[in-house]
Amino acid sequence: MMQNVHLAPETDEDDLYSGYNDYNPTYDTEELENDTAFQEAVRTSHGRRPPITAKIPSTAVTRPVATGYGSKTSLASSMGRPMTGAIQDGVTRPMTAVRAAGFTKAAVRGSAFDPLGQSRGPAPPLEAKNEDSPEEKIRQLEKKVNELVEESCIANSCGDLKLALEKAKDAGRKERILVRQREQVTTPENINLDLTYSVLFNLASQYSANEMYAEALNTYQVIVKNKMFSNAGRLKVNMGNIYLKQRNYSKAIKFYRMALDQIPSVHKEMRIKIMQNIGVTFIKTGQYSDAINSFEHIMSLAPNLKAGFNLILSYFAVGDRDKMKKAFQKLIAVPLEIDEDDKYISPSDDPHTNLVIEAIKNDHLRQMERERKAMAEKYIMTAAKLIAPVIETSFAVGYDWCVEVVKASQYVELANDLEINKAITYLRQKDFNQAVETLKMFEKKDSRVKSAAATNLSFLYYLENEFAQASSYADLAVNSDRYNPSALTNKGNTVFANGDYEKAAEFYKEALRNDSSCTEALYNIGLTYKRLNRLDEALDCFLKLHAILRNSAQVLYQIANVYELMEDPNQAIEWLMQLISVVPTDSRALSKLGELYDSEGDKSQAFQYYYESYRYFPSNIEVIEWLGAYYIDTQFCEKAIQYFERASLIQPSQVKWQLMVASCFRRSGNYQKALDTYKDIHRKFPENVECLRFLVRLCTDIGLKEVQEYATKLKRLEKMKEIREQRVRSGRDGGGGSRSRREGSAGSDASYVDPLGPQIERPKTAARKRIDEDDFADEELGDDLLPE
C-alpha cells in the first residue's frame, strides 16, 4: 500500500504540479472494512441523530492522509459539524445520506429498519364525503347535465335522432333544476352560463334535425334574446337555414342579413358563407339580379367553386351569353390549392423517401385533395354542358369554345371528356352520324380517351345490330385499355350475340376482376349462365347483384325466373311479390304471379293477379284469354263476353274470339243475340265452316227458314274442303322427298339472339289456357266444349 503514499517535498514550494496526487480519504473504499469509525457508524445508523452542537472553531484542521497501516481519523466538515460516523461527546452521528430510507429523529438506537413505516399501523380513514351538502349535489347534477349533452351529440352522430332529442330534452330539464338549486345556495352571478348555452343550443339543433322547426326556432329565440350570451347573434344563421328549409325565403334572407351585420369583418370566411346562402336564396326566389350581385361580390373577395358555378347558373337564367363566358372563365381560374400528382412519384431509389411517399399517397389529406379535384371537374363539366348550347349559334360551336378554354387552363384532361360529351349530345339529338364522326376523332388520341371513344362506338353499332362493327370497336377499346370494364362488357355482349356463351362469360368475369362494382357485367354473366342452363351459378350472380341493387326490378325478376326454371314456384312467388312492391303497376309481373298461382291450383289468387294485370294493361291477349276462360269455368258467361269482345277488337282477323262471343251469348240463353253474332261472323268470314255449322244447328232449333240456305252453303264448303285435302295428300305423295329436304334446310337457320341489356328477359308463358278454332269443330248445340 505504500505506493499510494506520496510525501510532499519540503523545499520545493513552487511546484506547479503539487497536490495532484493528494485525494480526500473519504473516497478511499479499499480499507472500509478496517475503518473502525465507518463500521461503528454503520452499526449505529439506526440510532437517534445527536443534536447539533456548537461549531468546531476551525475548519482548517489539517487532515492527515489515511494509510493502510492504521484507522482513518474522523474529519470535520466545512460547515463546522462532525462528519458522518464521527464520534463526538460519546455519541455516534448517524449517516445522513440514508435519511429518506426511514431514519427519523425520534428513532432510538438499535431500532428495526422500517423504511415504509409499517410499524406505525394503518393510516387513518379518509374523511367521509358529505353527499348531502348542497354544493356536492350541484356538482353531481352539473356533471349529469354534461353527460346528457355528450350522449345527445353522440346519438345524433350515429343517426339515432329520436334518442338524441330525448337526451337533449332531459339535459334541459336537469339544467333548469340545477339553476334553481344554484339560486338557492349562491348568488345569481355564479350561474354557469356556458352550460346553459350549450344545453339550449344542443336542444335547438336536435329539434332542427328531427324537423321540428317551430320548436327549434323558439329555442333559438331564447338564446338570441338573452343578452348575457356572447356571440349569440351567429345563431341567426341557423334560424335562416330553418326558414330556407320551410321555403320562407323572405325571412331566411332577413335572418341571414341580420347575422351578417353581427359578425365582424375579421371573420371573413364566415361572412363569405353567409353571403353564399343569401345568393342561393335569391336564386330560389327567382331574383337572379340580386343573386348575381352576391356571387360577383364573393368571386371578387374569395373565389370558390360553388360561388362560381352558381354565378353561371344565374347568368344562364338571365340569358346573358357574354357574362356566361366570363363566369365560366372565372370558374376555371379558381385555385384548387392542392399538390400536383408529381409530388407522389418517387424521384430516387431512396428507401426512406419511397416509404414516406407510399405513406402519404392515400392518406386523409390526399383523399381530400382527390375529392376537391373531382368536385371541381364535376362543376366545370356540368357548367360546360349547360352553357355550350346557348353561348353560340349552335351547340357544336359552343362546345368548341368550352374545349379551347379548358385546354388553356389547369384542367387540360377535361377537354377530351368534353368532346365525348359533345358526341353524346349528338346522340340525344338523334344525329348518329355526327356522333360517330366525333368519336372516331379519338382513334389517334391517348389510350384512355381512345378506349372511352371506342367503347361508345361499340355500343352504338351494337344498338344498330351491326355486330361486326361493334366487335371491331370493342376489340379496339380492349386493346387500348385492358382494364376498362365497360369495354370488356361490350366485347362480351358481341360474343354473346354470336351465341358463344362460354367465351362471353370469360369477358364478363375479366370485367368483374377489373372492377367488382361493374353491375352490367354481373347482370350479363347471370343471363349467360341461364342460357347455359347453369341455374345455380346464375342464381348466385343475381343474388350478389341484389345485394348491390336492392330495388332493381330487373334483378328481382331474374331471381324469380331462375327459381321458376328450378321448379321452385314458392320461391318464385316470393320474389315476384317483392318485385310488385317495387313496381306495383307492372302488368307482366302481375300476370306471371297469376300464372304461378294457377299452376299451383289457387284459382282465386290467380284471378286476382290476372285481373290486376288486365287493369294496368288491357291489351294482353294471354290475360284476356285466361280471364274469359275463368268466367266460363265459373258459369258466368255474361262476364266473359266483354273480354272476348276486347280480344276481337285487338285481333279482328282472328275468328275464334267472335265465335267465343256468340258461344257465350248462346250459353247464357240469349239465342237471338247469338244468332245475330253468328250471322255477322258469316258475313265477315263466309268460308268459315264452324260458323255455318252453328248457324244450321241454331236455325234448326229455333225453326227459321234460313236453315236450308245455310245447310247448302255448309255442304258446298265441306266438299271444297275435301277436294283441297285430297290435293294436299296427292302433292305430299309426289314431292315429299324434296319438300322434306327444303324443310330441313330451313330449319337449320340460326335463330336471332336479342341484344343484351339491362332489360327484363321475360320467358314465354309455358302453361296457360288457350282457345283454338279446333275447340269448336265438333261442338254440339247446348254442349259446348270448354277451353282446355
* Per-residue pLDDT tens digits for 360-384: 777 888 888 888 888 988 999 899 8
Which residue segments constitute the domains of the chain, with CATH numbers given?
A: 442-528 (1.25.40.10), 618-728 (1.25.40.10)
CB 564 within 8 A of CB 548: no
Query: Of residues 5 and 361, which shows the higher confidence score?
Result: 361
N- to C-terminal Cα separation, the chain: 133
Confidence (pLDDT) at 76 = 44
* 670 pLDDT higher than 80: yes
Q: Which amino acid is at 20?
A: Y
In sequence order, which residues have a C-beta less than 8 Å from that of residue 54 and are 6 or more positions away? Answer: none
DSSP sequence for 445-512: S-HHHHHHHHHHHHHHHHHTT-HHHHHHHHHHHHHH-TT-HHHHHHHHHHHHHTT-HHHHHHHHHHHH
- Between the alpha carbon of residue 10 and those of residues 20, 23, 117, the distances in Å are 16, 19, 56
Mean pLDDT of the chain: 78
Confidence (pLDDT) at 144 = 92
In terms of DSSP H, where are the helices of 634-706? Answer: 637-650, 655-667, 671-684, 689-702
651 is written with which cell numbers? 285481333
Phi then psi for residue 77, to 5 deg, are: -80, 170
* 301 pLDDT higher than 80: yes
* Tens-place pLDDT, residues 224-274: 888 888 778 888 999 999 999 999 999 999 999 999 988 888 888 899 999
Q: Which amino acid is at 127?
A: E
In sequence order, which residues have a C-beta less than 8 Å from that of residue 454 and are 6 or more positions away? Answer: 439, 442, 443, 473, 474, 476, 477, 480, 487
Confidence (pLDDT) at 113 = 66
Give the lowest-confidence range in 314-323, 359-368, 634-643, 768-777: 768-777
Distance CA 377, CA 94 (A): 84
pTM passes above 0.85: no
Tell me the three-class secondary structure of 329-394, residue by residue. HHHHCCCCCCCCHHHHCCCCCCHHHHHHHHHHCCCHHHHHHHHHHHHHHHHHHHHHHHHHHHHCCC
* 288 pLDDT higher than 50: yes
Give the lowest-confidence range in 33-37, 311-315, 473-477, 587-591: 33-37
760 is written with which cell numbers? 327484363
Q: What is the DSSP letter of 780?
A: B
- Between the alpha carbon of residue 173 and those of residues 150, 196, 203, 218, 621, the distances in Å are 15, 11, 11, 16, 68
Element (H, E) at 91: strand 91-92
Distance CA 520, CA 538 (A): 14
Nearest of 225, 252, 226 to residue 238 by alpha carbon: 252
CB 520 within 8 A of CB 491: no
